[in-house]
């Protein structure tokens, strides 16, 4: 079968490898749609694992079913989580599934930029989800990124009526905007450095979308009854973005760190002001099965529409073009790889 092997952002090669053999309790999934995630092009994070087959936003059809598998059969349309929790450790029992050691060590084989993936038994048990009737493979590939956003909203204790500032209007920022609108946000403000994404944020529900160089927190006050944002979501980790977040959060508000810094990087924060104003700082990583199930229902019910986020559909042979599009972040939002083309 063909796979897209990642060596670096500028070197993603189509290579041939054997179709994985499944064992008892496992399934083989034929991949129909696999989204390129912003984390796939975080070279500082990915290149140390190279060469590797990336891709974790997948949907496809069950091709083979191993002995002992219950609940799935050949031909089922599914989406698959690459990381799954143990559900029994201290962290899982506290509801903190995404810091579970099992979640951080599980994956399917190889990655989603392949014609087929082998799904290990533990993933079959708690990380394979049937796609509802009428839900496309492309929509199914959005369940992982939307699930991560759903978890962020749960972590901050989202309340309808909150105002929100989204810093960084790539795919994750735009999903935050769409979900905030669906969940009854007050005012939504978006910031980015890309005019195409600024226009897209406005089209997807932002009341105000501005270029980062022109942004000032007073703009939030101007449309939000004189108040700053109840929630600031950082979908970029640039120092200037973090500074904007601190200046833009309302007293008693929350800053959500959705995008990561590189390991070892330190950031200076005005702790006295944050303490004085009772600002809560929350981080979020990954999602758990409940978040994925919620994402599936949000997409299926069309409370969160995702098809209009797809700007490019490419065959596996064009995967380097896909990575180039995501890296350049010019006029692309979501790039979908279709391995069977």
- Looking at residue 189, what is its pLDDT? 98
pLDDT tens digits, residue range 88-131? 999 999 999 999 999 999 999 999 999 999 999 999 999 999 99
Domain 147-283 in CATH 3.40.50.720: yes
Convert the pLDDT of each residue in 229-286 to its tens digit: 999 999 999 999 999 999 999 999 999 999 999 999 999 999 999 999 999 999 999 9
DSSP 206-248: -SEEEEGGG--THHHHHHTTT--EEEEEESS--HHHHHHHHHH
Q: In CATH, which of 3.40.630.30, 3.40.47.10, 3.90.180.10, 3.40.1280.10 is domain 2-142+306-338?
A: 3.90.180.10
The full set of domain ranges for the chain reads 2-142+306-338, 147-283
As a whole number of angstroms, the distance between CA 57 and CA 35 comes to: 5
User: What's the sign of the alpha-carbon dihedral 166, 169, 104, 9?
Assistant: negative
Over residues 77-98, the mean pLDDT reads 97
pLDDT recorded at residue 280: 98
Instruction: Tell me how far the alpha carbon of residue 157 is from its chain's centroid.
Output: 19
Q: Does the pLDDT of residue 329 top 90, yes or no?
A: no
Task: Give percent above pLDDT 70 in the chain.
Answer: 100
Token pair belonging to 29:
């999934």
Measured CA to CA, the distance from residue 195 to residue 334 in angstroms comes to: 16
| Average pLDDT of the residues in 203-222 | 98
29-55 pLDDT, tens digit each = 999 999 999 999 999 889 999 999 999
State pTM to two decimals.
Answer: 0.97
Tell me the CA distances in angstroms from 308 to 124, 134, 139, 314, one per residue in order.
Answer: 30, 16, 10, 16
């Amino acid at each position: 079968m063909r796979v897209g092997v990642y060596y670096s952002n500028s070197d993603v090669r189509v290579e041939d490898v054997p179709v994985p053999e499944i064992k008892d309790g496992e399934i083989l999934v034929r991949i129909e749609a696999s989204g390129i995630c912003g984390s796939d092009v975080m070279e500082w994070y990915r290149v140390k694992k190279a060469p590797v087959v990336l891709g974790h936003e997948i949907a496809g059809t069950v091709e083979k079913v191993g002995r002992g598998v219950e609940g799935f059969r050949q031909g089922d349309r599914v989406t698959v989580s690459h990381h799954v929790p143990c559900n029994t450790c201290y962290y899982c029992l506290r509801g903190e599934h995404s810091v579970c050691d099992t979640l951080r060590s599980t994956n399917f084989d190889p990655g989603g930029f392949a014609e087929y993936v082998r799904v290990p038994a533990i993933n079959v048990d708690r990380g394979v989800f049937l796609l509802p009737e009428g839900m496309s493979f492309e929509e199914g590939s959005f369940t992982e990124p939307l699930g991560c956003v759903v978890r962020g909203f749960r972590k901050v204790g989202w309340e309808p009526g909150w105002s929100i500032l989204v810093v960084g209007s790539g795919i994750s920022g735009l999903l935050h905007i769409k979900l905030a609108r669906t969940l009854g946000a007050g005012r939504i403000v978006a910031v980015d450095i890309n005019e195409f994404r600024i226009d897209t944020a406005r089209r997807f529900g932002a009341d105000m979308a501005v270029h980062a160089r022109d942004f000032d927190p007073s703009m939030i006050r101007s449309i939000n009854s004189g108040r700053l944002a109840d929630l600031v979501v950082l979908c970029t980790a640039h120092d200037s973005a973090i500074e904007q977040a601190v200046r833009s959060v309302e007293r008693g508000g929350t800053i959500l760190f959705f995008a990561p810094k590189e390991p070892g990087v330190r950031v200076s924060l005005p702790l006295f002001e944050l303490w004085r104003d009772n600002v809560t700082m929350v981080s979020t990583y990954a999602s758990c099965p409940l978040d994925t199930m919620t994402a599936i229902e949000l997409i299926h019910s069309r409370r969160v529409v995702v098809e209009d986020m797809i700007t490019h559909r490419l065959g596996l042979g064009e995967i380097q073009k896909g990575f180039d599009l995501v890296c350049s972040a010019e006029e692309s939002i979501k790039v979908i790889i279709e391995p069977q083309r």
